[in-house]
Amino acid sequence: MTRFQSNIINWYKTNKRDLPWRETNDPYKIWLSEIILQQTRVAQGTDYYLKFVQNYPHIKLLADASEDEILKLWQGLGYYSRARNLHHAAKEVCVKYDGKFPTDFKDVKQLKGIGNYTASAICSFAYHQHYAVVDGNVFRVLSRVFGIDTPIDSPKGKKVFEELADSLLPQQYSSEYNQAIMEFGALQCVPANPDCLNCPLSGICVAFCRNLVKELPVKDKTTKVTERFFNYLFIENNGKFYLAKRTGNDIWKNLYELPLIESDRLFSVEELIENESFQHIFNQESDIRISNGVFDFKHILTHRRINARFFSVQTNSVNMNKNFQEVLKEELEDYAVSRLTEMFFEKALI
């Protein structure tokens, strides 16, 4: 075993976190944890993992659940396509493999929502198969220690790092090593201001020796952020409220939200009243009153910045041809909604 491998594993034995998915070899639970932890901090993801395991201790229970139930349990975690893919893959396992999670790497990778990294993690941690895991933490550790400035988000970079990771994977203890290098990147070799002076790899780290820690790893692409403006209507009609289900391939697919008018800016009350889409929500004889108080929120997603304004509207008639779901106030929190809508409910339903 090389100095790099042994130092990583020794560090891990002393510093690893006590995480519930490390206490099992069940591929279902390991898969569940890996999907939840994509784009999610461990501190936040742990509670969701425990909720899913409690509600769906076996994959068949997850497959048999409705999408609305799964999205509601996922609420607040973001990147909801993960939840939909999770549900789809659970059904695949039940249909193709009689409810038993596949053991072959190619079969695992073909499941909905599973890429090379997730398949490698499942096969390594559940079955102790010889596959190197390469996530964001591993990219960062390898880039800094070996001084690699090839962009990690380029095809060439992915190939370079995957080949290096494969070459470093020890024949013995490969599962523990994979856990160790990921944990090392998460706790020790962090993105900003890592504690290099107390790092067991500082003596062999190219980035530390050449003062390149801040420059590595390199990314080739920058994320273009789109600005969007959402005008939401919190409509009350004789104790009834209204929700609409988002459809199409847009953000928050299949989640519920309040009636929405998207525009190129946030409306004033006067602009809202004059808006044609607003007028079509109500019947011609409707009595409409709009509260002067509005709630404004900014919500940042990976590629979008959502500027939202929530208007409270009282009326005596709504055009139900708009496919609204009519609910009581106490039922609003039973529906799976985006974190943005959830934040409004937290303020408006006190």
The alpha carbon of 280 is separated from its chain's Cα centroid by a whole number of angstroms, namely 35
Instruction: Give the integer Cα–Cα distance in Å for 102 and 92.
Output: 10
Instruction: Give the integer Cα–Cα distance in Å for 182 and 189.
Output: 10
Please provide the distance, in angstroms rounded to a whole number, between the alpha carbons at the two ends of the chain.
Answer: 59
CA distance readout (Å), 169 to 6, 132, 180, 254, 290: 11, 6, 11, 41, 63
Instruction: Give the integer Cα–Cα distance in Å for 226 and 118.
Output: 29
CB 133 within 8 A of CB 117: yes
Name the DSSP letter for residue 232. Answer: E
CB 4 within 8 A of CB 201: yes
CA distance readout (Å), 256 to 206, 292, 335: 50, 25, 7
Apex 62 CA angle, 56 and 63, nearest 5: 160
Instruction: Give the integer Cα–Cα distance in Å for 350 and 339.
Output: 17
Q: Tell me if residue 236 is catalytic.
A: no
Residue 12: both structure tokens together: 């891990």
Instruction: Give the integer Cα–Cα distance in Å for 145 and 152.
Output: 14
Residues 6+ apart with CB under 8 A from 324: 242, 243, 244, 259, 318
Q: Which helix (H) or strand (E) holds 309?
A: strand 304-315
Catalytic residue among 34, 162, 183, 257: 34
Helices (H) and strands (E) in the chain, counts: 15, 7
Q: Give catalytic residue positions.
A: 34
